[in-house]
Structure 1
Amino acid sequence: MNHDQGLAAEGEAAFPHLFSPVRLGPMHLRNRVMMPPHNSAIGNLWGTDEDEATRAIAYLESRAKAGVAWVGGVTGRIQNQFIPGFEPSGISAETKGYFRLPYFVDRVQRVTGTLHATGAVVTCQMTMIGGFPHAPSPRLSGPAGNSMPHVLTTREIAWFVREYGYSAEQARRAGLDGIELHVNHDDLLEWFLSPLTNHRADAYGGSLENRARFVVEVLTAIRGAVGGSMAVGVRLNLKEEVPGGYDAAGGIEIAQYLESTGLIDFIHAVVGTPWGNPSYIQPHFFDPGQWSGLAGDLKRAIGLPVVHTGLVDSPETAERILSAGDADVVGMARAHIADGEILLKAREGRTAEIRPCVGGNECINRRYVDGLPFGCAVNPHASNEVEGPWLRSASPRRLLVVGGGPAGLELAALAAESGHRVDLWEAAEEVGGQLRIAAAAPRHERFGRYLDWQRNRLADLGVKIRLHQPATAADVLAEDADAVAVATGASARRPPIDGAHGEAVLEIRDVLSGAAIPGKRVVVVAQDDHMPPLALADHLSSRGHHVRVVYATNGPAQLLGRYIVGVILGRLSAQQVQFRFMEEVTAIGAGTITTRNVYSGVQDRLEDFDSVVLACGGVSESSLFEELRDRRDNVHLLGDAFAPRRLVFATRQAYALAKILQGPAGAGTPGNHKDNQ
C-alpha cells in the first residue's frame, strides 16, 4: 500500500458511512454526499459561454474532482405563463423557462459531460415559485410578502403539467441522471400541498389526495417523458413554519402518499422558509444538522431513500447523521463553497486542514442583497476556479503585513502560499482584530474557529507573527521589506451626539470583550446596517439585561438580507428586546436620551435606562499608510483601514492584492497548498 492509499484508507475508516456507495433508483453514488443547487450565485449557467457559464462549470468540476458524488447543479426554472404585459418581480420571479432556451440541451451537455468524467452524477431541480404570480387560492404563504397572486384555473394547471413533461424530456436529452421536483420553500407545488395556501373547492383542494393531485400529475408527466432511465425525486419541507401549514406529522403523511404512487425514487427532506425563522439557508445561529432527527423520523416512516440538507457543515456532522440512520445521503452546499476539497481532505485524514464555513450567508447575501459579485467570506478562491490553481510567484519577495485582522491574516497566508517570505505585526496580544471580539457574541463561535484555522494555516506556512508589536513609520522603514501592506483596521466610532462621551456611554467592542459591564437596563444606539447591533442586543438580552435598540433607519439591519435577518430577529423577540425605528439619537443626558424622527423632525425622549452602548461602526485607521506612501514605494492599504466593511470584503481585498503581488499572470508555478481549486 502506497502513502496515498494509506491516507485514503485512514480517512474512509474514520467516515465509513460517508464514503460508502448507495443507489437511488437508477442513479449510483460513489459516496453519500450531494451538492444542492447553489451555483447560480457563483456564475449563471445560462450566461455567456466565455464568462458566467464557464465559471459555473469550473466551480462544479472542481468539487466533483474532489469527491462529490452527486451534483444538483442545474437549477431548472419552468416556463411561466401570464397575460401580455404582466411583469413578475422579486428575487424568485420566474419568466423565461430555462428548459425552453434554444441552447439548454447543449449547455447542460457541457455540464454533464464535464462532471461525468469525474465520476459524479448530475441532476436538475425543477422550480416554479408560488406567487410569481400563481397560487392555488387567493392566500399568502406568510406575513413577509403581500403581493396577491393569480389563482390558477384547471386549464392553466394542465398547461403547467404539460410544461413539466416537456422540461423532463429536455433534461433527458441533455444527459442528466435525475430530476428533483422542488416542492418546498414557497414553490407553487408546495402551495398546492399546503392547507395554509390551498383552499380550493375543486379536485385540487380539500383532502390530501386532492391537494397532492397537481404534484402527482406533474410526476406522472415527468415519468412519461423519462421512464425509468432517470432518478426522480421530490424535495419536501419536513414541516411548514407558519401556523396553518402542515406540521412534521403532516410532512410524513405527504411523503407516504407520494411514495405510494410509485413515481419517485427518493425524498429530499429539508426545513425552513425563504424569509423566516429558520431560514432554509440556516445561518450560524443553529447547530450543525439541527433538524436531522426530523429527517430520521421520516426515513423510518417510508421505504424510499432520504436525502437531508440543513447546515451539514463538516464530514463529522455528515457521518453522525448517516450513522444514526437519519438519512441515506446528506446535502452539503456552503461547506463546499468554504472548502472545495472538503471530501478529499476527509478521505485523506486531513480534517484539521478543512477551511470552516462561518455560516454568515454572505455567499447568497452579496448577490441578492448587495447586488455584488459572488463572494465567500472565508474562501476567496471560490468562483475563481476557472483561473486555475493559485500560483507561486516567479520573483518571491519579502512582505511585511501590519495588522492581524481578517484582511491581514488572509493576505499573509495567500502571499506565503505564493512563495513570499512574510512577516506579520499585530499590536494586540493576539490576532483576529474585530472578528475576535465578534466571536464572543452568542452563536458566533464559528468565527472563532475560523480564526483558529487561520492561525494554524499561517504557522504551517512559516509566517512570522509578532504580537504586541505596534508599528510606526520609522519601524516599518527600518524593516526594509520589499512590500508593505497596511491592514491596521478601524477604531471605534463615537458619533457626534451630545453626551456620547459620558460615563454611562459604552462601546460595543468593550461590552463584547468584557472590558465594560453595562447596567441592567440598556439602550443600544445602532448606526450599523449589518449584524453587530443585533449581535450586541443578543449578547445583552441573553444575559438578563433589558434592551432597547434605537435605529434611525426604518427597519433593522438594512444589508443583512432575508436569509438571515429573520433568525436573529426571532431570537431577539423571544428575549423581549424592544426596537425603535426612524429615530436619530441627538443627546444623551443623565437619565434621558433625546431622539428626533428623521422624517418629521419630531422629538421624543427615552428614560429608565442605566447604560447606553454605541454600536456605530468604526473609523478607518489609515494614518500609517498615509505617512508611508510618501516615503517609500510598494506600500498598500486594505481592509477596514481603507473603509470599514464586513469579513467578506476583507478577504476579497486580500485576494486581489495577493494576485498583484504574485506578479504577471502565468509567471509562476502552482502554489504549495491544496485548497486552491
Structure 2
Amino acid sequence: MTPDVFAPARLGPITLRNRVIKAATFEGRTPDALATDELIEFHREFAAGGVGMTTVAYCAVSPEGRTDRHQIWMRPEAVPGLRKLTDAVHTEGAAASAQLGHAGPVANAASNRLPAVAPGRLFSPLGMARTIRPDAAEIARIVEAHANAARLAEDAGFDCVEMHFGHNYLISSFLSPLLNRRNDGYGRSLANRARLAREVAAAVHDAVGGRLAITAKLNMDDGVVGGLRPAESVQVARWLEADGTLDALELTAGSSLLNPMYLFTGDAPRREFAAAFPNPLRLGMRAGGRFFLREYPFHEAYLLETAREFRRQLTMPLILLGGITCRETMNLAMTEGFEFVAMARALLREPDLLRRIGADRTTTSKCTHCNKCMPTIYSTTKCVLA
C-alpha cells in the first residue's frame, strides 16, 4: 500500500507528523557561530508551514570543520540558543534535526583561521592554502567530535541528527577516489575509503542511538570525472545498512568543491556568485564561472533515476531529495518506495507551501529554479523573488 505523504510516519525512535523534511540549506543567520533570533524564526516559519521536520544547517563538529567562521560549531555555548530554536519548532508541531559534519576541503581556512582538512594535501582556492592530511590520531579526534556534537544536539532538544556524508565535505572527500589518494587504512580500496563514514556513524549511534533519529546525507554521484559514482556509493550504503547505525539515508549528489550545480540543476547564477565573493575569488569566478557553475536542466524529481538503484538494493528507509515541489511528485516518491521526501528551494520561496498543498493538491510551487538564492548564503539566505 502506498503511504500517504501527509500521514504520520516513524523515523527510527521518533514519529513525524508527515513525510516531508525541510532539507538543510545554510541559513546565513549565525554571524557569531551561535543561534540567533533570526535563525529561530527562519525554522519556526517552516514548522508553521507544515513540514514534518526542519533541518538546521550547518552545525560543524569542530571549529576547523566550518565552511567559514560564521557557521555554528557544536560546543556548550551553542546549546541554549539551539534549545530556543527546537522549542519554537516543537511549539509549531514539527520535529527538528541538526545537520552535523566537518567541511574538510570545502572549509575556508582563511576565514576560520585554522587549516582545512582533506584526505591529502590539496590546494584549496577557498582559503588560498593547502589542506592538511590528518593522521590516525587526528581522524580519531574528528570521529569523537561527531559523537560529542550529537550529544550536544540531544542536550539542545533536537529530535534527529543528520550526518553530512556528501558534497565532498570531509567524509565525502574520503569516499572520493579522486580526492582520496591515501595509502593507509583510510585509502585506496572502497572499503578503506568508506571506513571514516562507518566509524562516524557508529560513534554517533553509540552516543545517541535509540533516543534521537540518525540519518546521513550520502552522495550517490560526485558529478566529476574520477569521483564517487553510483556503483560504489550503493556498496557504501549497503555497508551502512548492514552496520545498523542509521535510521535513514538522504540521497544527494554533486560537489561543493568541484561541481555544485550537479545537485541544484536549473540556472547557474554566475554573476550573483561573483558579486558575493571578495577578490581574488570574484575575479576567478568571473573568469572561470562557466566551468565551475555548469548548467543542468531542471525537472521534477531529478535525482530519482539514480536513486532507484539504491531503492532496489536497500531495505532501509530512504529520503528522496531534488526537485520535490508538488503533491504529484511526492506521491511518485511514495509509489517508488521512498519513505520520505526533502524540500529546500521551493520552501525558501514559500515557507507555507506544504500546508497549502495539503489543503489543495493542485497547488504548484512558485520557485523558478533561477538559483539566485544560492549566493545569498553569504549574507542572509532567502529567495530573491519572494
TM-score of the superposition, structure 1-length normalised? 0.48
1:29 to 5, 11, 16: 16
Change over 3 Å in CA distance of 1:94–1:292 after alignment to 2 = farther
Please name the residue that 1:280 is paired with.
263
Aligned-partner Cα distance in 2 for 1:210–1:122: 33
Code of the aligned partner of 2:265 = Q
**Secondary structure of the structure 2 residue equivalent to 1:98:** coil
1:308 to 304, 317, 320: 320
Does 2:43 correspond to 1:60?
Answer: yes
Written as runs of structure 1 = structure 2, the 5 A alignment for 1:341-352 is: 341-349=352-360, 351-352=362-363
Does 2:134 correspond to 1:149?
Answer: no
Change over 3 Å in CA distance of 1:140–1:295 after alignment to 2 = farther
2:346 to 324, 335, 338: 335
Aligned-partner Cα distance in 2 for 1:60–1:33: 14
Please name the residue that 2:102 is paired with.
128
**Secondary structure of the structure 1 residue equivalent to 2:58:** strand
2:27/2:377 contact within 8 Å kept: no
Code of the aligned partner of 2:89 = L
Deviations 1:363-404 (A, max 9, x none): 222343xxx54442331xxxxxxxxxxxxxxxxxxxxxxxxx
Written as runs of structure 1 = structure 2, the 5 A alignment for 1:317-466 is: 317-325=329-337, 327-349=338-360, 351-352=362-363, 354=364, 356-368=366-378, 373-379=380-386
Aligned-partner Cα distance in 1 for 2:33–2:225: 40
1:233/1:265 contact within 8 Å kept: yes
Written as runs of structure 1 = structure 2, the 5 A alignment for 1:74-85 is: 74-80=57-63
Change over 3 Å in CA distance of 1:139–1:366 after alignment to 2 = closer
Aligned-partner Cα distance in 1 for 2:69–2:139: 16
Change over 3 Å in CA distance of 1:55–1:278 after alignment to 2 = closer
Code of the aligned partner of 1:149 = T
Please name the residue that 1:44 is paired with.
30
Please name the residue that 2:280 is paired with.
none
Code of the aligned partner of 2:5 = L
Code of the aligned partner of 2:370 = G
Task: Report the CA distance between 1:170 and its aligned residue.
Answer: 0.6
Q: Report sequence identity in percent.
A: 29
Change over 3 Å in CA distance of 1:169–1:203 after alignment to 2 = same
Which fold has the larger relative contact order, with Cα–Cα distance below 8 Å and residues 6 or more apart in sequence?
2
Please name the residue that 2:307 is paired with.
295
Code of the aligned partner of 1:116 = H
1:94/1:129 contact within 8 Å kept: no
Aligned-partner Cα distance in 2 for 1:239–1:145: 25
Code of the aligned partner of 1:347 = G
Does 2:74 correspond to 1:116?
Answer: no
Task: Report the CA distance between 1:310 and its aligned residue.
Answer: 1.1
Change over 3 Å in CA distance of 1:168–1:367 after alignment to 2 = closer
2:325/2:343 contact within 8 Å kept: yes
Change over 3 Å in CA distance of 1:254–1:47 after alignment to 2 = closer
1:18/1:33 contact within 8 Å kept: yes
Written as runs of structure 1 = structure 2, the 5 A alignment for 1:643-654 is: none
Q: Specify every segment of 5 or more residues in structure 2 that has no aligned partner in the other structure, as ranges.
A: 108-115, 268-296
Please name the residue that 2:217 is paired with.
235
Written as runs of structure 1 = structure 2, the 5 A alignment for 1:162-201 is: 162-201=144-183
Deviations 1:167-208 (A, max 9, x none): 111111111111111011111111112222222222212322
1:79/1:97 contact within 8 Å kept: no
2:58/2:71 contact within 8 Å kept: no
Deviations 1:48-89 (A, max 9, x none): 87xxx22222222122122100111242112145xxxxxx9x
Task: Report the CA distance between 1:119 and its aligned residue.
Answer: 1.9
1:311/1:332 contact within 8 Å kept: yes
Deviations 1:7-56 (A, max 9, x none): xxxxxxxx973213321211212211100122513x3386687xxx2222
Aligned-partner Cα distance in 1 for 2:300–2:168: 24
Code of the aligned partner of 1:99 = M
Q: Tell me how large the CA RMSD over aligned residues is.
A: 2.7
1:78/1:94 contact within 8 Å kept: no
Q: Of the two, which has the highest radius of gyration?
A: 1
2:83/2:156 contact within 8 Å kept: yes
Change over 3 Å in CA distance of 1:55–1:323 after alignment to 2 = same
Written as runs of structure 1 = structure 2, the 5 A alignment for 1:459-478 is: none
1:79/1:96 contact within 8 Å kept: no
Change over 3 Å in CA distance of 1:164–1:375 after alignment to 2 = closer
1:67/1:343 contact within 8 Å kept: yes
2:346/2:366 contact within 8 Å kept: yes
Change over 3 Å in CA distance of 1:39–1:145 after alignment to 2 = closer
Does 2:73 correspond to 1:98?
Answer: yes
**Secondary structure of the structure 1 residue equivalent to 2:263:** coil
Q: Specify every segment of 5 or more residues in structure 1 that has no aligned partner in the other structure, as ranges.
A: 1-14, 82-87, 380-677
Aligned-partner Cα distance in 2 for 1:367–1:276: 17
Aligned-partner Cα distance in 1 for 2:236–2:367: 33
2:117/2:132 contact within 8 Å kept: yes
Does 2:208 correspond to 1:222?
Answer: no
Change over 3 Å in CA distance of 1:246–1:175 after alignment to 2 = same
Aligned-partner Cα distance in 1 for 2:20–2:32: 25
2:30/2:70 contact within 8 Å kept: no
Task: Report the CA distance between 1:98 and its aligned residue.
Answer: 1.6
Aligned-partner Cα distance in 1 for 2:56–2:72: 16
Aligned-partner Cα distance in 2 for 1:308–1:45: 31
1:241/1:272 contact within 8 Å kept: yes
**Secondary structure of the structure 2 residue equivalent to 1:279:** helix
Task: Report the CA distance between 1:94 and its aligned residue.
Answer: 5.9
Change over 3 Å in CA distance of 1:94–1:202 after alignment to 2 = farther
Deviations 1:456-508 (A, max 9, x none): xxxxxxxxxxxxxxxxxxxxxxxxxxxxxxxxxxxxxxxxxxxxxxxxxxxxx
Aligned-partner Cα distance in 1 for 2:261–2:26: 22
Aligned-partner Cα distance in 2 for 1:106–1:335: 30
Aligned-partner Cα distance in 1 for 2:170–2:33: 26
Change over 3 Å in CA distance of 1:158–1:144 after alignment to 2 = closer
2:49/2:353 contact within 8 Å kept: yes
Code of the aligned partner of 1:17 = D
1:211 to 170, 177, 193: 193
Please name the residue that 1:386 is paired with.
none
Higher percent of residues as helix: 2
1:21/1:32 contact within 8 Å kept: yes
Change over 3 Å in CA distance of 1:95–1:164 after alignment to 2 = farther
Code of the aligned partner of 2:162 = E
Give the total of aligned pairs: 346
**Secondary structure of the structure 2 residue equivalent to 1:233:** strand
Task: Report the CA distance between 1:282 and its aligned residue.
Answer: 2.6
Aligned-partner Cα distance in 2 for 1:239–1:207: 17
2:101/2:146 contact within 8 Å kept: no
Aligned-partner Cα distance in 2 for 1:32–1:314: 13
